[in-house]
Amino acid sequence: MAMSIRNSASRRAMNQISNDFIGLRSMSSWWKSVEPAAKDPILGVTEAFLADHSPDKVNVGVGAYRDDNGKPVVLECVREAERRIAGNAFMEYLPMGGSVKMVEETLKLAYGDDSEFIKDKRVAAVQALSGTGACRLFADFQKRFCPGSQIYIPVPTWSNHHNIWRDAQVPQKTYHYYHPETKGLDFSALMDDVKNAPEGSFFLLHACAHNPTGVDPTEEQWREISQLFKKKRHFAFFDMAYQGFASGDPARDAKSIRIFLEDGHHIGISQSYAKNMGLYGQRVGCLSVLCDNEKQAVAVKSQLQQLGRPMYSNPPLHGAQIVSTILGDQELKSLWLKEVKIMADRIISMRTTLRESLENLGSPLSWEHVTKQIGMFCYSGLTPEQVDRLTREYHIYMTRNGRISMAGVTTGNVGYLANAIHEVTKSA
Amino acid sequence: MDSVFSSVARAPEDPILGVTAAYNNDPSPVKVNLGVGAYRTEEGKPLVLDVVRRAEQQLVNDPSRVKEYIPIVGIADFNKLSAKLILGADSPAIQENRVATIQCLSGTGSLRVGAEFLKKHYNQSVIYIPKPTWGNHPKVFNLAGLSVEYYRYYDPATRGLDFQGLLDDLRAAPSGAIVLLHACAHNPTGVDPTPEQWEQIRQLIRSRSLLPFFDSAYQGFASGSLDTDAQSVRTFVADGGECLIAQSYAKNMGLYGERVGALSIVCKSADVASKVESQVKLVVRPMYSSPPIHGASIVATILKSSDMYNDWTVELKGMADRIISMRHQLFETIKAKGTPGDWSHIIKQIGMFTFTGLNQEQVAFMTKDYHIYMTSDGRISMAGLSSKTVPHLADAIHAAVTRLG
């Protein structure tokens, strides 16, 4: 049986040894050389905003929806779903691949209610930790199963995309996307990059409402991109974080994906409910990969699970329950679609108001892009120095790339915002 | 067009979760699931603690609650309270602000984030883990880029601790190596060091400058007392040295699927702790940006109310006591049947699991003939037993030992 120290002589000896180890207290830390990390450029903005005591402060930094009073919103359909869940559900582990019901409903949104791919069970899909988690799982999967590959990322993109593929150790390249002169899409440079990339390259595409620019290809441009991808046998990975949020119509916002599916591509998709269901902190999303056939989809799904298991074992329950409760109930689903449209419409109306206000102030610059761009963000064209002035002089918080979260604009602050932007740009 | 992933092979079933899948597919009315470590009541049902339901209701009824992103490191209250829970409210490490605590996705998430931090910032990338250990441990560390070595732990001859082997192996480890320690209720064996043995382990670890990484998945669940089950961790922290701790609320608060846990890094100084926290954020952001809000909100609600906290300790003790009584019932039943062998390890081992000592062949036999589902290493989850099913399990063990012994 196991040893144990019983007699008092040994105990005294142990105390002696113990005293020697008081010296441990003077040993230095293992972490002495750990440098303080740089603040996350996006989340750091909100931190700074919260620390500001000015009554005029405006947060148009992080992309979280606000109502016209500047308050965060919990959708009615979500509140109702939670009332139904509370007190009823068990809290057992979900399967490694997450909630089956939630994944089923989520795939319908991306691939279409009547998708043949879903019917033929060709989609390998797992619940993921919102969009970030879905992208990371895909990046890890790409690294493991296409180890020589790299990822082409648009310029600019959500800054965390670079972190994700870097931590997955997948080398990155960039492709042209935003055209600063037109504040629109640099389509010909984009097509050149797609053409010049080695055959079979992996590309990250924003399905709709590009973050941070709000600049999306037109339907015609998507078709051309898809045809060129076919010629080059490229892999298209779609990050769809704003379905429903861009135009107000989820089917319309999934058009790019549907075009690629029609054209026969085997795509990957990251979906998030953070914005369109307002479930930010719940971390609910889905990663899917379209495969040749059912057998392959089973294999791919099993491998995705192998990547999730050593990261968090299985995904969190509550957010998934909210999603399946809503999407599985006709009434709640209709309510959700209404609420998404209200959010999208409010943002579209704020775009119009901001643009008109700037024009009415007599701005020498063109603000056409404010209404041409789509989704939560407006790439204003403001320089980092102008952004710094906005923060210092007007207590307006946004990321230094000039990205304005339109969701943070309200009828109450749009005038103040327009005026401040005008002041810092009028002599530009 | 062919998929670029055409040649991806199907991965094997996870051995632990695969057991439940097989159980679910079995139509037998006498089937018993002793596979995954999730608590079951005497009626064989999952349990949501009463205090958890109350916290849940409180949250749902509060119209001021929103679903915004929480900070990358999680909910501040939750983090503070979790550190207090494992380290003790009067811990000098906490009072001196030397502890960086980050909300993570249960124990798994806490281990993975800690391991990734170590890979990036620590000068050693080898971790020593006990043999045997939870099946997912080596995968977590490997994917984080650490290399895994084993130290002796379980002695099949005694069905207890191979203490000398443990000391020898840790003494031979390179200075500075990371050492994974199960804080209590070792999974899968249920074999824990005594307090005196823990003291020797502590001294050895400090003398070799090894870095302890505690996995605390069963605080309160092992003995029924939160403080007793935290002793191993607390004696390490009391010597002023550094360590990492992964905490899980899956079992002790029954929050399994909500994925609630915390990683604490105890540092030498407040300044270091603050820098460490900032670097851990860089690990989390490209993994999932920020942790899920729901489970941690429930935990914080309970831990900050002294009434709810007390009610929780009572329910927790109830679960621990039921498991201890199942151990005694199984032991007595086996003894009464005269099954050959020494079965006292059933009552000596602690926590959710018993390492029966049955071999793969015997386990397969028990599954086939008696519809008993357990992992092939002979581990049974005592939480899955009830007074009604103990006799059936005892029959199965008796048959397996006498026919295939």
pLDDT digits (tens, 9 = 90+) for B244-279: 999 999 999 999 999 999 999 999 999 999 999 999
Residue of chain A whose alpha carbon sits nearest to that of B73: A43
Rounded to the nearest integer, the mean pLDDT of chain B is: 95
Q: Which of A102, A144, A267, A283 to mutate to test the interface with B (most CBs of B within 10 A)?
A: A283
Confidence check: pLDDT of B59 > 50? yes
Mean pLDDT by 10 residues, chain A (428 residues): 45 47 48 72 84 93 89 95 86 93 98 97 97 98 94 96 97 97 96 97 97 96 98 97 95 98 97 96 97 94 95 96 97 98 97 97 95 95 96 95 94 97 90
Give the pLDDT confidence score for residue B37 in this predicted structure: 81
Residue A74 touches partner B, C-beta closer than 8 Å: yes
Looking at A186, A193, A216, A239, which residue is catalytic?
A239
Are the C-beta atoms of residues A204 and A157 closer than 8 Å to each other?
Answer: yes
Confidence check: pLDDT of B304 > 90? yes
Degrees to nearest 5, angle at CA B227 with B225 and B233: 130
Residue B79 touches partner A, C-beta closer than 8 Å: no
User: Can you tell me the distance from the alpha carbon of A278 to that of B352, in angstroms, rounded to the nearest whole number?
Assistant: 38
User: Can you tell me the distance from the alpha carbon of A107 to that of B210, in angstroms, rounded to the nearest whole number?
Assistant: 48
Contact A37 B160 (CB under 8 A): no
Contact A31 B121 (CB under 8 A): yes
Chain B environment of A291 (Cβ under 8 Å): 3, 5
Strand pairing partners for B243? B266
Are the C-beta atoms of residues B382 and B352 closer than 8 Å to each other?
Answer: yes
Strands A403-405 and A377-379, sheet pairing? antiparallel
User: Can you tell me the distance from the alpha carbon of A212 to that of A255, in angstroms, rounded to the nearest whole number?
Assistant: 20
Degrees to nearest 5, angle at CA A294 with A293 and A296: 70
Contact B9 A299 (CB under 8 A): yes
Active site annotation includes A275: yes
User: Can you tell me the distance from the alpha carbon of B364 to that of B308, in angstroms, rounded to the nearest whole number?
Assistant: 44
Nearest to A160 among B255, B274, B289 (CB): B289
Contact B290 A281 (CB under 8 A): yes
Which bin fits A285, alpha (ψ -120 to 50), beta or left (φ > 0)? beta
Are the C-beta atoms of residues A151 and A173 closer than 8 Å to each other?
Answer: yes
**Nearest chain B Cα distance for residue A369, angstroms:** 29
Residue A123 touches partner B, C-beta closer than 8 Å: no
Residue A7 touches partner B, C-beta closer than 8 Å: no
Chain A environment of B253 (Cβ under 8 Å): none
Strands B379-381 and B353-355, sheet pairing? antiparallel
Q: What percent of chain B has pLDDT over 90?
A: 89
> DSSP class of residue A148?
T
**Nearest chain B Cα distance for residue A179, angstroms:** 27
> DSSP class of residue A113?
T
Q: What percent of chain A has pLDDT over 70?
A: 92
Q: Decide if the complex's ipTM is over 0.95.
A: no
Give the pLDDT confidence score for residue A88 in this predicted structure: 75
Peptide bond into A212 cis (omega under 30): yes
Q: How distant is the alpha carbon of residue A179 from its chain centre?
A: 22
Task: Burial-class residue B208 by CB neighbours within 10 Å (0-12, 13-18, 19+).
Answer: middle
Residue B251 touches partner A, C-beta closer than 8 Å: no
User: B300-305: long-range contacts (C-beta < 8 A, 24 or more apart)?
Assistant: B300/B75, B300/B77, B300/B78, B300/B81, B301/B55, B301/B58, B301/B59, B302/B51, B302/B52, B302/B55, B302/B253, B303/B78, B303/B81, B303/B82, B303/B84, B303/B85, B304/B77, B304/B81
Confidence check: pLDDT of B195 > 80? yes
Give the pLDDT confidence score for residue A47 in this predicted structure: 84
Q: What's the pLDDT tens digit per position in B311-357?
A: 999 999 999 999 999 999 999 999 999 999 999 999 999 999 999 99
Are the C-beta atoms of residues A200 and A360 closer than 8 Å to each other?
Answer: no
Contact B293 A281 (CB under 8 A): yes
Confidence check: pLDDT of B19 > 70? yes
Confidence of residue B63 (pLDDT cuts 50, 70, 90): confident
Residue A94 touches partner B, C-beta closer than 8 Å: yes
pTM here?
0.91
Active site annotation includes A158: yes
Chain A environment of B200 (Cβ under 8 Å): 5, 14
Are the C-beta atoms of residues B185 and B352 closer than 8 Å to each other?
Answer: yes
Structure tokens at B76: 């501040």
User: Can you tell me the distance from the alpha carbon of A322 to that of A84, in angstroms, rounded to the nearest whole number?
Assistant: 9
Residue of chain A whose alpha carbon sits nearest to that of B280: A37
Buried b (16+ CB within 10 A) or exposed e, A85-107: bbeeeebbbbbbbbbeebbbbbb
Strands A268-272 and A285-290, sheet pairing? antiparallel
Mean pLDDT across the stretch B285-313? 97
Contact B276 A31 (CB under 8 A): yes
Q: What's the pLDDT tens digit per position in B129-153?
A: 999 999 999 999 999 999 999 999 9
Collapsed DSSP state (helix, strand, coil) of residue A340: helix
Contact B281 A312 (CB under 8 A): no
Strand pairing partners for B212? B179
Which bin fits B357, alpha (ψ -120 to 50), beta or left (φ > 0)? left
Q: What's the pLDDT tens digit per position in A189-223?
A: 999 999 999 999 999 999 999 999 999 999 999 99
Give the pLDDT confidence score for residue A43 in this predicted structure: 75
Contact B67 A94 (CB under 8 A): no
Nearest to A300 by CA among A113, A144, A130: A144
Collapsed DSSP state (helix, strand, coil) of residue A4: coil
Contact A319 B294 (CB under 8 A): yes
Give the pLDDT confidence score for residue A20 in this predicted structure: 43
